Amino acid sequence: MASTSSSAAVVEERESGRKRKRGGATGESEGAEEAQPSKWRTRRVHEIYSSKLLDAIRLVRSGSGSPASAAAGTAAAAAADPQSSRAVREAADRALAVSARGRTHWSRAILASHHRRLQAARRARLREPASPPLRHPTSPPGKGPKAPALARKAKVLGRLVPGCRKLPFPALLAEASDYIAALEMQVRAMTALAEVLSTVSASSSGTSSSPA
Amino acid sequence: MSSRRSRSRQSGSSRITDEQISDLVSKLQDLLPEARLRSNDRMPSSRVLQETCDYIRNLHREVDDLSERLSELLATSDMSSAQAAIIRSLLM
């Protein structure tokens, strides 16, 4: 596709630019695993995520995915079932968070909220008293945006990125950068998976044996 | 230098400067799709934040649409583990 090849060229520029800046700007050597947005562009992370994604949504298919679909009590998946669509979305997000390797607030927040939901469902079944939800420790006062308009937009941004409502402004910007790069990879991987699945199901439902 | 050091005694995250903030904002700007059209001219921070929010909302919507598409595709196919292995290799 023409668009991917041109964007790949842009990506390489971006990546080399970022690496150069990163090397010069700070003295810390964080190795290859640092939380840089450019790491979401590598082939490796795309492959790792695609594999996790495939596993995760196969679980949704079999109905054992999220407590929400289990509570609905129906295993029959209608064609555009909103339940299963939401379950796919949540599974994809969790797989994305896992691929982040716990180095960002947004990824930890996604996994924590899923964990809380599982705990709540488990407790509801066992009828135990629910423990109070863990409060995120209040962040130290950092530099914030000076204009009220900026502060308003920063608040909106904090609500869009999971787990970032109370972050100081600089951390919020860093999280947003990483989150955007991760989301873009998620879109690429899910699109590729949808293409593969539609090709596979088209060819298997058509003729009996011969692949295209 | 000394003012930065004294601030660090008060709170943990104080080594952030205006320069670092504008650096983060411009990094964010680079990620936005519009940045390719604007050849990296500096946009005002409020514009960058606005575009960032819009872009994230856009990406969320794309992921939702893709989730719907994937759940439809999964509903119509019965995937054996052999088929899953083939699909996995097609993705690599």
Per-residue pLDDT tens digits for A12-71: 445 544 444 444 444 444 444 455 778 899 999 999 999 999 999 888 866 544 444 444
Q: Which residue of A has its CA nearest to B88?
A: A51
Q: Put residue B40 in one of left, alpha, beta given phi > 0 → left and psi -120 to 50 → alpha.
A: left
The answer to whether A179 touches A161, Cβ cutoff 8 Å, is yes
Please indicate whether, in this complex, the C-beta atoms of A81 and B75 are within 8 angstroms of each other: yes
Q: With an 8 Å Cβ cutoff, is B30 touching chain A?
A: yes
The answer to whether A77 touches B74, Cβ cutoff 8 Å, is yes
Cross-chain CB nearest to A92 (options B46, B59, B67): B67
As given in the structure block, the two tokens for residue A186 are 């998620």
Residues of chain B with pLDDT under 70: 1-15, 36, 38-40
As given in the structure block, the two tokens for residue B27 are 């990094």
DSSP state of A135: P
Residue closest to A100 by CA, chosen among A89, A92, A108, A90: A108
Rounded mean pLDDT of chain A?
A: 75
Contact list in A for residue B91 (CB cut-off 8 A) is: 47, 50-51, 54, 189, 192-193, 196
Q: Does pTM surpass 0.80? A: no
Contact list in B for residue A47 (CB cut-off 8 A) is: 91-92
ipTM confidence score: 0.79
d(CA B27, CA A9): 18
Contact list in B for residue A180 (CB cut-off 8 A) is: 28, 31, 52, 55-56, 59
Residue closest to B44 by CA, chosen among A76, A150, A117, A151: A150
d(CA A189, CA A187): 6
